[in-house]
Structure 1
């Protein structure tokens, strides 16, 4: 039906908000402990202590539930750093990425959500939106650096922020590497150096 919100996308209040919080917490716990394809709405309802009819009516599918979980994670994520230095801001971003990916719960949760995005369109779209929100939040660091004259004026802020986290995700997911703060610092230095060299300067239209 045109104009009808996708399941799980309406932001509720009161008791409905408490139900959503309980269900999303249960879904996050389940994903952190198991695979996306094992996500069962009836089991989630039992974990959350709510009626399964409520869960099926509100979310309908595991993909919609994963999408709402990602939307909630984006809303709850920390705001960007604002240190007055590009190097320190990007370092803070990289360390936050490493802290999240190495956390005993959050790390497993992100792996499960990334896996979900490969087999479910709703989860994939939600994951894309999650990273769009986070990259836009941290791109302010790059815009500030441009305004201070630290970077070429044509620098693409989104590309610089993406360049910070890209090698960290690659090391974790493709190489199975255990990330450290030293890896975070190296990724931040590399992105900052590339930005200063004009690697991510956009060509004139």
Structure 2
């Protein structure tokens, strides 16, 4: 992992640019610095939670100069927001199986594997906990899920075109219905959902969608 001295780098957005973290795509060395810092921030969140996230500690773990970290992100909440941007951008794309049941099962399996992963599951718990008491983190978390729901919504729209669900079915609501019980299990029991739980969630959402439960409008 490359170290940085903390001196200014031409590709880094400097103070006063007005750009939120994650809205400017860095390249080259700056991209490597961002990746190292976000990886270190994720490690701290997974290991110790939001309360122990400290920019100086993240800089040390990432082998990056503290000046660079403070200049680029400026606050813990800005760093978490950028981490969520990166997570949304690098999440796996949706699976197209040709059927709604298959697509939703693939979505549920992806969520389940993520939450069962020792690092990712702990990371999500920490971010959700932080979002409960910090509006900027909450807004970043909402944007993260907006990206993921938008990625998977077309599978429901195609299902409507095939006649598997009624016209007017709210695609985003169906996608959320798949993952909602899985997150609920993680947050209320502290235990990641297993593969059978993911399969049940997908079947339930698919059956409800086919029955017209998620139809909106007149």
TM-score under structure 2 normalisation?
0.90
Structure 1 position 127 matched with structure 2 position 132: no
Determine the structure 2 residue equivalent to 1:24: 38
Q: Deviations over 1:71-102 (max 9, x none)?
A: 00000000001000100100000011110001
Match of 2:167 in 1: 153
> Which residue matches 1:96?
110
Q: Distance in 1 between matches of 2:16 and 2:64?
A: 29
Counterpart of 1:200 in structure 2 is 214
Q: Given that residues 155 and 195 in structure 1 are in contact (C-alpha distance below 8 angstroms), is that contact kept between their aligned partners in structure 2? A: yes
How is 1:44-193 mapped onto 2 (pairs within 5 angstroms)?
Answer: 44-193=58-207
User: What displacement does 1:103 show?
Assistant: 0.3
Check conservation: 1:26, 1:47, Cα contact below 8 A. yes
Displacement of 1:8 in angstroms is 4.5
- In 1, the alpha carbon distance for the partners of 2:190 and 2:51 equals 21
**Unpaired segments ≥5 residues, structure 1:** none
Supply the distance in 2 between the matched residues of 1:54 and 1:120 (Cα, whole angstroms).
24
Structure 2, unaligned stretches of length 5 or more? 1-14
Q: Does 175-184 or 93-102 show the bigger shift? A: 175-184
Task: Assess, with a 3 A threshold, how the Cα gap between structure 1 residues 83 and 7 changes in structure 2: closer, same or farther.
Answer: closer
Q: Does structure 2 conserve the Cα–Cα contact (< 8 Å) formed by 1:152 and 1:198?
A: yes
Conserved 8 A contact 1:86-1:145: yes
Separation of aligned partners in 1, 2:177 and 2:164 = 17
User: Aligned-pair RMSD on alpha carbons?
Assistant: 1.5
| Distance of aligned partners of 1:17 and 1:142 in 2 relative to their CA distance in 1, 3 Å threshold | same
Give the distance between the partners of 1:141 and 1:133, measured in 2 at CA. Answer: 15
> In 1, Cα distance between the equivalents of 2:217 and 2:16?
39
Given the two structures, how large is their TM-score scaled by the length of structure 1? 0.96
Q: Which moved more, 1:171-180 or 1:37-46?
A: 171-180
Q: How many residues align?
A: 204
